[in-house]
Amino acid sequence: MITIFIPTPLRRFASEQTKVSLRAKTVAEAVQSLTSIHPALKPYLYDESDAIRKHVRLYLGEEDVREKQGIETSLKEGDELSIIPAIAGGSKSPFRGQGQWKK
């Protein structure tokens, strides 16, 4: 079994669970299995072409899987995979109305 850590913003789509244990041989298989168990997570993890969303980071232990073999990275018994939302932003291009925010 491997464990997948669910970040706070996505827990509501995973029955409020912090960690999900499942069987998987690769990162791709693990994420696919996770979204089979919790389908509400799917739009937050995959884009329209079924690729992992560009603002979703997947860490195996302390290492970004993009620095390994990406989603084809192999998993072994006891591994912990963490889903990490990319956190960024800034003042460039502030909205000026257009209903994107309200007072």
Partner 1 sequence: MSTIIDKSVLKEIQHKLESDYPNEGCGFLFGTDNNRVRHITQMIAVDNQSTGDQRRHFVIDPHDYLKAERYGQKNDLQLLGIFHSHPDHPAIPSTHDLEFAQPYFSYFIHSIQKGKLSGTRSYRLINGQLLEEKFSIRQSTKAH
Could you list the residues that contact partner 1 (CB under 8 A)?
Answer: 5, 7-12, 18, 44, 55, 57, 59, 62, 64, 82, 84-96, 99-103
Q: Is the dihedral of CA 1, 36, 55, 101 positive or negative?
A: negative
Minimum separation from the CB atom of position 8 to partner 1 (A): 4
**Which long-range CB contacts under 8 A does 57-66 form with residues at least 24 apart?**
57/83, 57/84, 57/85, 57/86, 58/27, 58/31, 58/82, 58/83, 58/84, 59/84, 60/27, 65/27
Name which of 23 and 40 has its Cβ closer to partner 1.
40
Name which of 23 and 86 has its Cβ closer to partner 1.
86
Three-state DSSP at 97 gives coil
Find the radius of gyration of the CA atoms of the chain: 16
Minimum separation from the CB atom of position 92 to partner 1 (A): 4
Minimum separation from the CB atom of position 85 to partner 1 (A): 5
Minimum separation from the CB atom of position 59 to partner 1 (A): 7
Name which of 49 and 95 has its Cβ closer to partner 1.
95
